[in-house]
Structure 1
Amino acid sequence: MDDAEEAGVEPTVLEEPPVRATTSCAAHDTVGDHSEMFSSGCSSNMINTECDAVSVPTARVTTINDFVLKIKKQLCLLFFRVAEVHKLPHSTAESVFNDFKITFLDIIRTFASVIENNIAMESAGIELRKLLAGEFLEDIFQAASSKYKREQFAKRHLPYVKPEVRDLGAGETFQFVPISGVMRNLMSSENFRDHIELDFSTGAPSPTLHNFRDGCIYKEKLHALLEDGAQYTLFFVLYSDEVEIVNPLGSKRGVHKILVVYFSVVNIHAKYRSQLSSIHVVLVAPYRLVIKHGINVILKPVVDDVSALWMTGFTLWKNSVAVKVRAILVAFSGDNLSMNRLGGFTCSFSRGRPCRFCTSPNSAFNTAFHESDVQVRNLPLHQNHVASAKINRQLGTALYGVKDESPLTDVAYFDVTVQLPPDLMHDVLEGAIPHVLRHILQGLLRSGVIRHSDLDRIRTFVFGAHDKKNKPEEVVKSFLNGQSAYKGTASQKWCLFRFFSLMFADIVPKQNEHWEVYLLLRSIADITFADKIPHDHLAYLQDEIRFFLSSFAALYPGAIIPKLHFLIHYPRLISELGPLKQYWCMRYEAKHQYMKTIAQRNQNFRNICKSIAERHQLLQSFEFSNLEVDRGIQTKRSRQLKLEDLCSYMRKVVSPGIPVWEVGSAEVENLVFKKFDVVILEKQQLPLFGQIRRLYIYCGSLFLLVDVLMTVRFDRHRWSYVVDNTDEQKLVQPFNLPSPQVLDLYFGAELMLRPEIMIVE
């Protein structure tokens, strides 16, 4: 049995992907017939409908058997869309499907009767007579009639990887989905292969850190693992978390807690990695088994698969030519508790040595403000600590914060002191930000700068269209008193932090010591959350962190928590791994919602890990059956324009006879553009902005007519850019913009940028 069969998939032959047979419209509510939009030499695959219809292969159907097989495939795909995409219980989907079957059969039989009554049947061919007889009708629904038949259909006709049951004895099992099998299916898609970044050269040092390939770990270690015989090398990140799939109270808490592990490929662009379909399930296990047997036992199949992907990889065939693929693990992400357990470090953060990046004790966090103040962990030092812990675990934990050997030690090139990166979501959004804001608000209230009634500004602040979906929760007294956590999602906390300056800056005097602490953390966040970070900013970041921590400790003695301490390691880890945002957990956390929805809608928790894994793999097989990495342009409220209706800039672009459409909004690469939105036209010390006035679709491309906004200044106290109108206009395209940010304008003249360093590359 070859490695493909072991992974639960058929041996792979690379083929051309299926093409959509139907022409997509620009939007549901468009005006008139839009078929012209895809003619005249325009790129027809640039614009997609909002309705994600089931794809129809364009292969020619010549026999009744071909027709029946095609209908079977489409009905099964339809079932997977109804059940898996919309997360319905299979019993509900089967009930809906049975109702659809009755209607469908009635329509087909009526249609056949009309045809028979209007043609000369004696002259009809044998295939047509078979078709009109309808003897096949009952058979076409059989492939989707039961769970077993649907799974068999997926195995035969879709890129399906069956979850493997791993037995621990005594009826204890968990689910493992081979990474190699999923990667094989990904690589079978030409669309996916076309988006893989294959430039692995270290070359001349870049002045800017863009991704993991600019970090020292890649340049000094991972690059050496590349083999000339591998035409493709996939770099990937693993993520693990403990998920409570229901919201129990009291004694039921933890009963349905599961451990999940995901992976995502990182040498494709971040705009594609952020799609939930690009996050793949690797393992689902009851958390009680992790407690009972240990993380090493549960993760063994994952570790073995990771090692094999580098050592042997797998082979695909394209046009009878072998294509070698290998894969390398860049990092393993998760929250601090998960990462400390995975790395073999102590899991207590209130005492001892809880930092996996240094050996500093918890008691020293309030005085160590620079990485030079602590002993940084490295692999040789850590190996000595592990050896000591094996001799005396209690002593190893007390002296070094090391309890066990990590299961990742079996991955030869993996360094647990570096490649378990800090997570910006857990450390900053859910840790540092609410903790710091609590102390700042306490300080402002104690000093009389603001009153309790001023906190109502958070509730009444009017957010723009792009920010209002994350409108933060109110700040309550129990949070200020330290008796409760700040309620809200990580995105809501991030929104509060970003707009805190606009909410309160007008009543807080400049140079206020509490306000300065907030501004220092803003400066730190703008660098650490940036997608691209210049090397020369890392020394500045280290100084900002030292100044912030020392100021915070002076104002609020004893208030440095571990998540604030971890900041001192960020500059070095960014240098080692590249920007930390590429490893954060925001999108992985969003993937949890799928698990929770499946569990809650099924209302059956018997062997829930098996149900979740199988359902996810059916969903994945449906998504992979027509894998589209680039979704193109999706629009709303479009109308065709006459030449005289176009602005002068657009008239210079269009050619006679090719239609131009004006749209109300357009989504391109997960970014939504609307009238009055603001985009960045030029990155410099004082950036140049443009406010969208009109949106055009021409030859499958989006054009934006913008009013140029002049930047007057950067207001540090309000942490905003102040802009003014000009008489200048420009016609731009999204792919030519230097930044993907789409912003709202506040108070008619202020812009709140998301973290980004305004450098010219």
Structure 2
Amino acid sequence: MVSYKDLRSHVNEDGVVIRSSQVHQYHLQALRESPGISKQTYGVVSECPFTELDYFDVTTTFPPDLMHNFLEGVVPLVITKVIQALHVSHVVSLSQINAELDAFRIGKNDRGNIPQKLPNTVLKQNTLPGSAAQKWCLFRILPFVIGHYIPEGEVHWDIYLKCREIGDVILSPTIPRRIIPFLSLQIGEFLSSFQSVFPETFTPKLHYLIHLPQLILKFGPLRQLWCMRFEGKHQYFKRLAHSTCNFKNISYTLAKRHQLKQCWELTSLDCLQQNTYTEGERAIPFRALLQEIQKCVLERSEAEDIQGEERVGVFSSLTTNNVKYCLGDNFVIEVVEEDIPVFIKIVKILRFRGAWMIFGKLRIPKTFERHYHAFKLEDHDEWILVQPGQEKEYHPLDTYVHDDTNYITLYHRV
């Protein structure tokens, strides 16, 4: 029940009146009795058609969409305002940022969502070009693109880092209840800092952040309810509508073409992609493996009759259970105290006597560099053996290098 002009005066839910089913019914009744009442009075225009459903309540069954609210609302606003401030203060110009983006060597796992070049309109408008996934990618890699230009403790950059801390939590597929109060404090601090640094700008989507802690408690991790997958499916229809050039009965054309596509896909014996796929297969003698790897294979397989000439399958990539493992990728294999992830860098993928074995080198975070919002890594020489499915997070992560130091930035809190 906050008016638009009062949005910036609230940085948490403590001082606001939350709508309830009873209050909403009162507002609807007022609209029926006085149809000419201003919509600004209650913020209600009309009754939702879904209220005819017995199990639907407009005040409790509308979870927020993180894709539109955060990735396409808050993230572009924060990035553009920070870039505008850095450009005006001559810390880094827009042309330098675009030059760094062109020269930046993006990791192969982020390559599918390469951010678009920033137009000059970014300096005047608070919008970013590209899809939600491209904006998320830019949000993650921005410190490696321009972080070396920015001095430690720069006030505008601190706004971006606080937004990253919030994103790590709310974009996570699993969120412990114990950190919800801390998330509320983080959001309040971010909104207060944003208003002090950018007093002329405050949008409803920034205000929506204050409700996320309670909504997470109500609905669970909101990433499970976002529109990202719907938009991915919808993209097929948008491309099809453009390519068919049908202006007579577009609904019939899209439905028919989609049905034919679904029929073709369902004829596959592996329509759910549950089979195992490999790339770069070759066979080598067991004796050709390093001694440390041979020892690990013997211990894991509990085999005693291995001949030196017995063949071992070696692969460049393995896809199983819809997770792809490639040489050079990093995976989180453990989370130790204080939520610190431990990584493994894949060096070899083997198949021996029907069993899959992934060998890699242990990578332990030395520190968390807040300025880059990334873990500074310390590589260890000992070999680690894991099997597919033992990782804590299925997203493969790229290594980014700055000043000859390896860094990993996460998609979200693990």
With structure 2 as the length reference, what TM-score do the two structures score? 0.90
Distance in 1 (CA, whole Å) between partners of 2:73 and 2:64 is 12
Is 1:732 the counterpart of 2:410? The answer is no
CA-to-aligned-CA distance 1:114-139 (integer Å, 9 cap, x gap): xxxxxxxxxxxxxxxxxxxxxxxxxx
Is 1:677 the counterpart of 2:329? The answer is yes
Q: In structure 2, what is the equivalent of residue 664 of structure 1?
A: 316
User: Quick one: structure 1 residues 413 and 477, their matched pair in 2 at CA, closer, same or farther if it must change by over 3 Å?
Assistant: same
| Aligned-partner SS, 1:533 | coil
Query: Which deviates more, 520-529 or 688-697?
Result: 688-697
Distance in 2 (CA, whole Å) between partners of 1:645 and 1:632 is 29
Give, in angstroms, the shift of residue 700 of structure 1: 5.5
Distance in 2 (CA, whole Å) between partners of 1:466 and 1:436 is 24
Distance in 2 (CA, whole Å) between partners of 1:463 and 1:662 is 27
Distance in 2 (CA, whole Å) between partners of 1:528 and 1:375 is 23
Higher-Rg member (1/2): 1
Of residues 610, 623, 640, the one that matches 2:283 is 640
Of residues 75, 94, 109, the one that matches 1:466 is 109
| Aligned-partner SS, 1:536 | helix
Distance in 1 (CA, whole Å) between partners of 2:242 and 2:331 is 41
User: Quick one: structure 1 residues 700 and 489, their matched pair in 2 at CA, closer, same or farther if it must change by over 3 Å?
Assistant: farther
Match runs of 1:336-375 below 5 Å: 359-375=1-17
Report if the CA contact (8 A) 2:342-2:364 is conserved: yes
Q: In structure 2, what is the equivalent of residue 402 of structure 1?
A: 44
Distance in 2 (CA, whole Å) between partners of 1:389 and 1:620 is 46
Amino acid of the structure 1 residue aligned with 2:368: F
Q: In the comparison of the two structures, how many residue pairs are matched?
A: 398
Distance in 2 (CA, whole Å) between partners of 1:596 and 1:478 is 26
Identity rate of aligned residues, in percent?
32
Give, in angstroms, the shift of residue 598 of structure 1: 3.1
Match runs of 1:505-654 below 5 Å: 505-624=147-266, 628-629=271-272, 631-646=274-289, 647-648=293-294, 649-654=296-301
Is 1:752 the counterpart of 2:409? The answer is yes
Q: In structure 2, what is the equivalent of residue 113 of structure 1?
A: none
Query: Which deviates more, 699-708 or 366-375?
Result: 699-708
Give, in angstroms, the shift of residue 706 of structure 1: 0.7
Is 1:687 the counterpart of 2:341? The answer is yes
Distance in 1 (CA, whole Å) between partners of 2:72 and 2:407 is 27
Report if the CA contact (8 A) 1:637-1:664 is conserved: yes
Give, in angstroms, the shift of residue 560 of structure 1: 1.0
Specify every segment of 5 or more residues in structure 2 that has no aligned partner in the other structure, as ranges: none
Distance in 2 (CA, whole Å) between partners of 1:436 and 1:559 is 10
Distance in 1 (CA, whole Å) between partners of 2:410 and 2:240 is 37
Give, in angstroms, the shift of residue 494 of structure 1: 0.8
Distance in 1 (CA, whole Å) between partners of 2:270 and 2:55 is 32
Distance in 2 (CA, whole Å) between partners of 1:394 and 1:704 is 68
Amino acid of the structure 2 residue aligned with 1:653: R
Give, in angstroms, the shift of residue 698 of structure 1: 4.3
Report if the CA contact (8 A) 1:366-1:558 is conserved: no
| Aligned-partner SS, 1:652 | helix
Distance in 2 (CA, whole Å) between partners of 1:661 and 1:520 is 46
| Aligned-partner SS, 1:749 | strand
Match runs of 1:45-56 below 5 Å: none
Distance in 2 (CA, whole Å) between partners of 1:700 and 1:589 is 39
| Aligned-partner SS, 2:362 | strand
**Root-mean-square deviation (Å):** 2.1
Report if the CA contact (8 A) 1:696-1:704 is conserved: yes
Give, in angstroms, the shift of residue 628 of structure 1: 4.4
With structure 1 as the length reference, what TM-score do the two structures score? 0.50
Is 1:704 the counterpart of 2:346? The answer is no
User: Quick one: structure 1 residues 565 and 543, their matched pair in 2 at CA, closer, same or farther if it must change by over 3 Å?
Assistant: same
| Aligned-partner SS, 2:281 | strand
CA-to-aligned-CA distance 1:492-514 (integer Å, 9 cap, x gap): 11111111122222222222211
Match runs of 1:80-159 below 5 Å: none
Report if the CA contact (8 A) 2:69-2:205 is conserved: yes
Distance in 2 (CA, whole Å) between partners of 1:620 and 1:414 is 31
Distance in 2 (CA, whole Å) between partners of 1:619 and 1:749 is 44
Report if the CA contact (8 A) 2:361-2:381 is conserved: yes
Of residues 366, 376, 385, the one that matches 1:722 is 376
User: Quick one: structure 1 residues 477 and 623, their matched pair in 2 at CA, closer, same or farther if it must change by over 3 Å?
Assistant: closer
Amino acid of the structure 2 residue aligned with 1:689: F
Amino acid of the structure 2 residue aligned with 1:541: L
Distance in 2 (CA, whole Å) between partners of 1:515 and 1:405 is 43
Report if the CA contact (8 A) 1:459-1:473 is conserved: no
Amino acid of the structure 1 residue aligned with 2:286: L
CA-to-aligned-CA distance 1:561-586 (integer Å, 9 cap, x gap): 11111111111111100001011111
Distance in 1 (CA, whole Å) between partners of 2:197 and 2:369 is 25
Distance in 2 (CA, whole Å) between partners of 1:442 and 1:599 is 37
Distance in 2 (CA, whole Å) between partners of 1:508 and 1:734 is 40
